Copies of this chain bind each other. A is one copy, B any other.
């Protein structure tokens, strides 16, 4: 029905299990593709340019910023990370649905540039889950865990700016929810104006 793909933006606090939910989603729903980010950090062993990241120099990255070639970008310590607009556009034009996994700040930038983006917030089921997951996977101090928990709660406050919230109690169920959201969005009247117009005015 709809040729052009959907841009799906996924955010959520660390400890919400975004990565696992998205991996299940992409495994089940082959039309959904990750966007490949651009970075200035050095490739790690086994990473392939154009597959894991597009690896660029700081100079190249800053030239891309100057040419407004990013949907969103950020600097983390000495490295830049960004979502290249033209590549995302190419994937969407090819009919793929594209998912960006970005923080709430970058997500709102994307929504400004691309208002049709479908905004999904992945949340833990309970507040205590965040702390448990951070504790479970890290060797950080109690103080660091508390800081990260507070930062997670700050992210959760941004959930109200999203279209959907997927509660990750079970990552397979979370993936099914994301697929349902994509399927439902493809049925939205606003995404099928051309079809309706053809039905009313078009030939048989």
- Tell me the smallest distance from the CB of A155 to a CB of chain B, in Å: 10
User: Could you give, for residues 130-171 of chain A, a 1 whenever the CB lies within 8 Å of some chain B CB and a 0 otherwise?
Assistant: 000000000000000000000001001101101111110000
Contact of A165 among B162, B176, B185, B192 (CB under 8 A): B192
Q: Judge whether A189 and B164 touch: CB under 8 Å.
A: yes
Q: Judge whether A187 and B196 touch: CB under 8 Å.
A: no
Which size bracket describes the interface of A in this complex?
35 or more
**A interface residues, Cβ below 8 angstroms from B:** 1, 120-121, 123-124, 126-128, 153, 156-157, 159-160, 162-167, 176-177, 179-181, 183-185, 187-189, 192-193, 195-196, 199-200, 202-204
Chain B neighbourhood of A128, CB < 8 A: 204
- Tell me the smallest distance from the CB of A28 to a CB of chain B, in Å: 13
